[in-house]
Structure 1
C-alpha cells in the first residue's frame, strides 16, 4: 500500500511519473511510479550522499546490469535504471502485496503449508539470483512479498554498490539487518568477500522467523544478537520437524558448511527433513591460558572481530561511547574506546603460547601491535608524522609500528609513531595523472582508508602467512622497485607483485586504539 507524496518529493524521475511513496531506508526512498505505458512500477531513488560519487555510479551500473539477468520468477523483475540521472534511480516490478514481516506481525507465525510455500518460494528466488551471479546481501522478512501467484523477493542485486561506498559516510551503514546477517559478514580477518552462502544463512533465519515470529538468535540488543549469531546455536523451538533440520543446516556458522540454493530447493521439493550426513567438524586445541587449555570447534571467525565490527556498525549508530570486548573464556565487559582505555583481561592471553597464525589473527583483530613486513624486499612499512607518503623502513622504532582497526569486513591501518596527530591512519590519494599513493589520513572509515587482507596461501622466510593488501575502490598495494615507492593499482589480469606479513609486537592497550 502506497502513501501520499510528501512536500518536497519529486513528481517525476526520468520518464516516470511518481504517484506515491512505498517506503524509505538507508539506501534511498522508494516511490510508486507509473511508466509511459501506464504500468505501475516501484522506483528506488538513491540518497544524495551516494549520488555525487562517480565510483558509486559505476558500481551501481554494473550491479544493475547483473540484476537484469536474474529470471523474474519469484523475484521482482528489474525493469530499468539510470545511474547518470540526478539522482540515480532503479525501476523494478511493483508487487502489490504485504511483506512477510507485515504478515507475521498481523496474523502470527505461518501454518504448515503456507510456511513450506514461503521456504520453497525464497529458495526458488535465491536459486535464480545466485544462478545469475548475483548475491542479495539483505534478505529479510521485509524483502519477501506475498504476490498474486506466489512469493516475490525484492531488493536484490544492488546492495554491493551501496556497501562498497557507504562506510565512508557513516559507520553504521553496512548493508544488511543484524538478525539475518551471517557470521562472516562481521569478519575482517583474511578479507574474504561475501558469497552466496550469506544469503543461505539469511534464508534459514527468515524461515525460522516465519515459523515462530522471532529470529533464531534474538537478543536484547543488536550487539547481543550478533554475539549469538557467532557463538551460539540457533533457537529453533517451534520450527516444524519437516523444516528444522534443513534450517539448521542453512544456519551453519561456516559458509562452506551450508547448502547451496539449488540443494535447498531440491531438499524442500523432495520433502527431506534433514541435511545429508556429514563428517564431524574438526577440533583444535586453542591455548588461552597456560593452566587451563580449552578445546573448541575450529573457528574461522574471531569473536573479538565480531564485537568490534558490531560495535562500529551498531553501537556507534546509537551514540554510545562504548565497545564490547570479549575476554578469554567468553566473558564480556564494556570498555572505553579511547587509546588509553581498557584494562588487561583478567585471564591474560599468553603470547608465547600462540602459533604464528594465531598471532597474525590477533593483529588483524586489532589486539596486537604489528610491523607490516614486505616479503619481496625484506623491508617494513614506515610512516613518520612529518612525512606524507608511506615509506619502506628498517623495522625499528615507532615509525614502523601499526595497529589494525577492524571495520566490518575491512580495516583501517593506524600508525603509532605520533598518537597525537590528527591524521594517524593510512589512506589512498588518487592523483590526476592516474596513479594512487598511500599517505597520512584521518582515522575515519572512508572509501580511501578501508583495506582488506587476502591470504596468498604462502609464508615468508620466517614462516609467517603472507597477504595481499587491497582497497575495494583503488586496487592493490604494491612496491615499485624502479621508483622505490609504494603505489596502489587495479590488477585485473595479473597477480599482485607484493605481499605482506604481520610481525607481532605485543598487545595494544585496547583492541582498537583511537577507534
Structure 2
C-alpha cells in the first residue's frame, strides 16, 4: 500500500512516532505511515479530531484496540502500541508492504486461478483466526485485504464487534456500517436481529468473486439497488468454476444457517484435492504455515485427503446434504459439525473469546474421603482432539493482565501461570467444543507452595465448568460457577506433589456424571460431577490459590504437554 503525502492539516508527530505519509482514511479516522525512533516503519491509525471528544467513539476505539490485540498476528497487522486516552487517540500496528486486493484487481484485472485460490485460502485463514478470537469483522472487502508477501492479511477492525451479543445496528442501505456490496442479507433487517460470524463468510464469498471476476456477485447501480439484489436474487458467479465456485455459492446463501463457517471453508479449501489449491499451498510455504496455525488454534489439524486426485470432497453436514432428523442443527450453522476424516473424527469448535472473571474467595475443601479404586477396565483410548506440548504459543496463548499481577507465559519449556492478589486465573486456550465424555492428560508442576494447578472441563462462559485442582497434598474435584468454587470429592495424595519438583502427570477420564482421576498412571479414584446445570464443552488451564497454605506472595504453577482424547469407538 503506497502512502500519499501528508496534508497541511495532518499532524507530523504522535507520541514518539514521526508521521511521514497517508495510507488511507475511513469513517473513524486516518491511517498514517510513521517511523519509530529506531527507524522502523509502522502504521498509525488516528481517530478523527472531531470525533476524539466523543465518549462513544473513544469507547469504540478502545474496544478496537482490545480486539486487535486478541487476533493472532499471522493473519492481520500485529499491534505494536496504542494510546486510546491520548488527546488524539491512536493505534500503532506493523506496516504491511503490499497492495490491497482492490488495487490489484482494479489495476491488473481478475486473478489467475492459482492466485485466486491463494487469496481464498488466505482470507479464510484470517477469518478462522478472527472468529476464533470471538470477533466479527463486519467490513470485510477487497480494500481491507492486503496482498502481503507470504500470505494475505485482513486489516481494519474499525467497526468490528464481539461475536457474543453482536447486533446489526443498521437502519437503511444509505446509512450502514459496512460496504453494501459485501453485506449479508440479514444485515438489512431490524436493528435487533443478532449478527453472527456468518455475515463475514458471506463477505468472503463476495471478496473471492470480485478477486476472480473483477465484479461483485450482486452488482447494482446504487447501494439500494445492490441491497435489493442481495435480498432477492441469486449471485452471478460466472467466471468462477469447480469446487471453489461451489464453496462461494454456499458462502453466499441467503440463510446464514446454510453457510459454512470460516473454519469449514478453510478445512475444505486446504484438504480439497483440486490442483489449484494444492499448488497454491505448495508454492507458498508461509500461506501453508498460516493455514495450519489457524487450524491448530481451534485444535483440528488437517489430514491428507484419501480421495483420488480428481475425486470430489465428501459432503459434510451443514455444508452439503441437510441433516433431516435435526432441524435445529440445520438452523444453527455455528454449532459443531462432524468433519469426516480418514483417520479419526474430531470436533470443530464454536468460537468464543476466553475471559478471566474476577472472583471472590474460593470455597474451602471438604474433609478427605477414602480413596476407592475403580474395578472397571480402562477403555481403549479414543481419537486425539487436542495435543499441545505447551512449550510455546500454539493452542494456548500467552497473556498478561494490565496490572501485571496475573499472567500466562511460556518459559523453561512449559506454560507458567502466575497470580498475585487474586484467587484464580485462567489461560486463553483453544476454542474447541469437545464431547461430554473424554480423557485429559496433562503434566503439572507446583512452582510455589501456595499454588494449585487447575484444570477446567465442560467449561462455558458464563455458566462455568467442572474443576479439578491439583495441590500439594490433595486433588480436589468439584465445580466453578460464577465466583463459587465447590468440592464434590477430595482425593488425598500418599506422596505430596513436590514444589519445584518434576512434572506430575494428571489424567482425567470423564464418563457420564463421573470423572476418574489418575496420577502418573496410577488410579486415585472416582468423583461425581454433581453440578448438573454445567453444559459447556471446553478445557481450560490455570491456577487457584491454595487456601490451606498461609504463605503470602505470588503463586505460580507450570503445565507441560496436554492431550485431550474423545471417547473410544467401542
Q: Given the two structures, how large is their TM-score scaled by the length of structure 1?
A: 0.51
Which residue is 2:22 aligned to? 21
Name the residue aligned to 1:89: 90
1:158 positional shift: 4.7
RMSD: 2.9
For structure 2, the 5+ residue unaligned runs are: 274-311, 326-330, 332-481, 484-570
Number of matched residues? 282
Structure 1 stretches of 4+ with a deviation exceeding 3 A read 157-161, 163-168, 170-173, 272-276
Q: Counterpart in 1 of 2:178? A: 176
Alignment CA distance shift 1:128-1:165 (3 Å): closer
1:242 to partner: Cα distance: 2.7
Secondary structure (helix, strand or coil) at the match of 1:81 reads strand
In 1, Cα distance between the equivalents of 2:173 and 2:53? 19
Counterparts of 1:92-491 in structure 2, within 5 Å, are 92-156=93-157, 158-160=159-161, 172-188=174-190, 191-271=192-272, 276=316, 277-279=320-322
For residues 147 and 167 of structure 1, what CA distance do their matches in structure 2 show?
32
Q: Deviations over 1:453-480 (max 9, x none)?
A: xxxxxxxxxxxxxxxxxxxxxxxxxxxx
CA shift in 2, pair 1:281/1:18, >3 Å: farther
Instruction: Give, in angstroms, the shift of residue 99 of structure 1.
Output: 0.8
Kindly indicate which of the two structures has a greater share of residues assigned to helix.
1
Mapping of 1:70-89 within 5 angstroms?
A: 70-89=71-90
Task: State the 1:265 CA deviation.
Answer: 0.2
SS in structure 2 at match of 1:96: coil
| Structure of higher CA gyration radius | 2
Q: Give the SS at the match of 1:147.
A: coil
Q: Retained in 2: the 8 A contact 1:66–1:157?
A: no
TM-fit CA distance, 1:152 = 1.1
Q: Distance in 1 between matches of 2:134 and 2:31?
A: 25
**Conserved? CA contact 2:170–2:177, under 8 Å:** no
2-side partners of 1:63 and 1:186: how far apart? 24
Residues 60-102 of structure 1: CA deviation (Å, up to 9, x unaligned): 2133212201111121112222111122112121111111111
| Pair 164,173 (structure 1): closer, same or farther in 2 beyond 3 Å | farther
Quote the Cα distance in structure 1 between the aligned partners of 2:30 and 2:62. Answer: 18
Q: Distance in 2 between matches of 1:187 and 1:165?
A: 8
CA distance in 2 between counterparts of 1:225 and 1:44 reads: 30
TM normalised by structure 2 equals 0.46
**1:26–1:173 CA contact under 8 A, matched in 2:** no
Check whether the contact 1:182–1:202 (CA below 8 A) recurs between aligned residues.
yes
Question: Is the 2:135–2:160 contact (alpha carbons within 8 Å) kept by the matching residues of 1?
Answer: no
Post-superposition shift, 1:24?
1.5
- Secondary structure in 2 matching 1:43: strand
Indicate how the Cα distance of structure 1 residues 187 and 160 shifts in structure 2: closer, same or farther if over 3 A, else same: same
| 1:418-464 Cα shifts (integer Å, max 9, x gaps) | xxxxxxxxxxxxxxxxxxxxxxxxxxxxxxxxxxxxxxxxxxxxxxx
Counterparts of 1:171 and 1:131 in 2: how far apart (Å)?
29
Tell me the distance in 2 between the aligned counterparts of 1:45 and 1:234. 37
C-alpha displacement of 1:164: 9.3
How has the CA–CA distance of structure 1 residues 203 and 252 changed in structure 2, closer, same or farther, with 3 Å as cutoff? same
* Contact 2:64-2:157 at 8 Å conserved across structures: no
* Offset at residue 171 of structure 1 (A): 9.3
In the TM superposition, what is the alpha-carbon distance from 1:155 to its structure 2 partner?
0.6
Distance 1:202 1:165, change over 3 A: closer
Task: Name the counterpart of 2:441.
Answer: none
Alpha-carbon contact 1:159-1:175 (below 8 Å) kept: no
For structure 1, which runs of at least 5 residues remain unmatched after alignment?
283-297, 299-491, 494-515
Q: Is the 8 A contact 1:104 1:110 kept in 2?
A: yes
Task: Identify the residue that residue 36 of structure 2 maps to in structure 1.
Answer: 35
Contact 2:4 2:22 in 1 (8 A): yes
The secondary structure found in structure 2 opposite 1:65 is: helix
What CA distance in whole angstroms lies between the structure 2 residues aligned with 1:281 and 1:109?
39
Q: Does 1:7 align with 2:8?
A: yes
1:98–1:121 distance in 2 versus 1, CA, 3 Å: same
